[in-house]
Amino acid sequence: MVFREQDTHALHNEPMYDPELLKKLDFSQSPTKFNPPVTAVNPGENLLVRPLCRADYEKGRYAEMNACKNTYFITVIEDTITNRIIGAATLVIEQKFIHGCAVRGRLEDVVVNDTYRGKQLGKLIVATVELLARQLNCYKLTLDCKDDLIPFYENLGYELQPGNSNYMSMRFQNQSPKLFKMLRSKL
């Protein structure tokens, strides 16, 4: 992957993970097929697939996530003409005690700007994260999605797990990140 100088402005500003990982991704290993072919190295004209960098986000939030080394691998697609992020996905890595501390990946926060849809960018960002998880030796990659997105992910090789396809959560209205940080520091 050869970045043009104008494409590397954000990469000089502390990438969340080593951009060299993206160069090593072998898209022939992914069940996702592209027509026309695209990869993390060649995502399309005036597009760049790269790690999230400090310049992309509020410094405080980036620093907190970046402090969790080898946990968050946020990958973005940038329109190099407008210098705007137009797609993103997060790979969260967690060690599983019951699996001998092997690592599992979770695909989260997949998004593509509405005006860029229909260009295979959703498939590209998901396949990039999938291959990144393989490169990082994850034994599996999981995700939760809305019912209407199940066919999209099935076409990319994901399978519903019988008896385990529901996702439930509990949200807390009055919890702030500052309070969480304070409580965490007292533990």
DSSP 5-28: GGGGTTTTS-BSS-THHHHT--GG
Q: Does residue 37 register a pLDDT over 50?
A: yes
Say whether domain 5-186 belongs to CATH 3.40.630.30.
Answer: yes
Q: Are 123 and 156 in contact (CB under 8 A)?
A: yes
Q: What's the predicted TM-score (pTM) here?
A: 0.76
Q: What is the pLDDT of residue 70?
A: 86
CA dihedral 115→119→120→124, nearest 10 degrees, is: -80
Asked if 131 and 25 count as a contact pair (C-beta separation under 8 A), the reply is yes
Instruction: Tell me how many degrees the CA angle 167-126-92 measures, rounded to the nearest 5.
Output: 60
DSSP structure class, residue 90: E
- Residue with the bigger pLDDT between 97 and 175: it is 97
Instruction: Report the pLDDT averaged over residues 29-53.
Output: 92
Interatomic CA distance for residues 55 and 4, integer angstroms: 18
Q: What is the pLDDT of residue 96?
A: 84
More confident residue, 174 or 140: 140
Structure token digits, residue 36? 């026309």
* Residue bearing the bigger pLDDT, 64 or 8: 64
Question: Residue 182 CA to chain centroid, in angstroms?
Answer: 28
Q: Which residues make beta-bridge pairs with 104? A: 94
Is residue 186 very low, low, confident or very high in pLDDT (cuts 50, 70, 90)? very low
Among the residue ranges 53-62, 71-80, 140-149, 176-185, the one predicted with the least confidence is 176-185
Average pLDDT of the segment spanning 158-172? 69
